[in-house]
Amino acid sequence: MQYLAPTTVDEAVSLLAGASGDCRILAGGTDLLVRMRSDMADPDTVVDLKRIDALKQITPEDGGWRVGAAVSGAEMGEHEGLVADWPGVVEATNLIGSTQVQGRCTMAGNLCNASPAADSVPAMVAAGAVARVVGPNGTRVVPVEEIPTAPGRTSLEKGELIDAIILPERGVRSSDAYLRFIPRTEMDIAVVGCAVSLSLDEDGTCTAARVSLGAVAPTVLLVPAAAEALIGTKMNDAALDALAAACSAAAKPIDDKRGTVDFRVHVAGVLAKRAAVIARKRAGGAA
């Protein structure tokens, strides 16, 4: 295996495009090294992104935030501006693994690992985040929900990498939240995950919302019907029940050792209600 540590994005792209054999991108490495260890990956080349300064930065951009692909979960949790604007995205990312894993793991890596149960991905989808994809043919901006195409698979082409996740401007009276169900309190993989991002008007009516579910389908789901259940309402019990029903209807999970279909379908709705109430409170609405 060859280990390469470029110092610019252009250099990384040309290394990726020119590499023969199995070439993998190393961001935090908390998935890649586990795969290598378990013989699920045997790369010929590894391209480490952590020597590219720009990819280690959290930068204000167009009123929102550009989070470089090599920024760790711990660094996100220590960034006051990012936490203030997108507490749900940060809390979701901070649920990945242990303190040790937080020192390395990245949102971009969590996205490209393409697990249906990835914690940060529903939060990014609800936030309306986009991935900035750079490759031999230039740069394109892709909604986060269009990156994973199946478990372990992404829509990235050969030679492409995500150099940043871009979170949009967070308007007034707006916030987000992420909840997952696990059978313990820490260090586990989501049985169901749900993120809600919403905006309120001065009267507390929901004016915009995005709702996303994890671990209930081959890829993380954006659920427009769930958002519609909230928009235009004061998020009373009827609206929250409609939100839950829309999420349960959208969930298409499998039975596995972590949970059954029936359980996941039900919990998708329960978590959506709870996450919506937390996001409303954070946005300055009713507690």
Partner 1 sequence: MSKIHVTTSVNGDPTEFLCDADETLLDALRDRLGMTGSKEGCGTGDCGACSVTVDGRLVCSCLMLGAEAEGREIGTIEGMAKGDQLHPLQRKFIEHAALQCGICTPGLLVAAKSLLENNPDPTEEETRYWLAGNLCRCTGYDKIIRAVLDAAQEMREAS
Residue ranges binding partner 1 (CB under 8 A): 1-3, 5, 26, 28-30, 33-34, 36-38, 46, 48, 50, 72, 74, 97-101, 103-104, 186-187
Of 34 and 172, the one with the shorter C-beta distance to partner 1 is: 34
Residue 270 and residue 284: Cα distance in Å, rounded? 22
Output the smallest distance, CB 216 to partner 1, in A.
Answer: 25
Closest C-alpha to 285, from 227, 199, 223 = 199
Closest C-alpha to 91, from 170, 193, 171 = 193
CB 217 within 8 A of CB 208: no
Of 180 and 280, the one with the shorter C-beta distance to partner 1 is: 180
Output the smallest distance, CB 44 to partner 1, in A.
Answer: 10
Cα–Cα distance list, 261 to 91, 151, 232, 256, 269 (Å): 26, 18, 31, 8, 13
Of 85 and 119, the one with the shorter C-beta distance to partner 1 is: 119
Output the smallest distance, CB 146 to partner 1, in A.
Answer: 29
Output the smallest distance, CB 100 to partner 1, in A.
Answer: 4
Of 8 and 99, the one with the shorter C-beta distance to partner 1 is: 99
Residue 280 and residue 84: Cα distance in Å, rounded? 14
Output the smallest distance, CB 107 to partner 1, in A.
Answer: 17
CB 210 within 8 A of CB 227: yes
Of 98 and 155, the one with the shorter C-beta distance to partner 1 is: 98
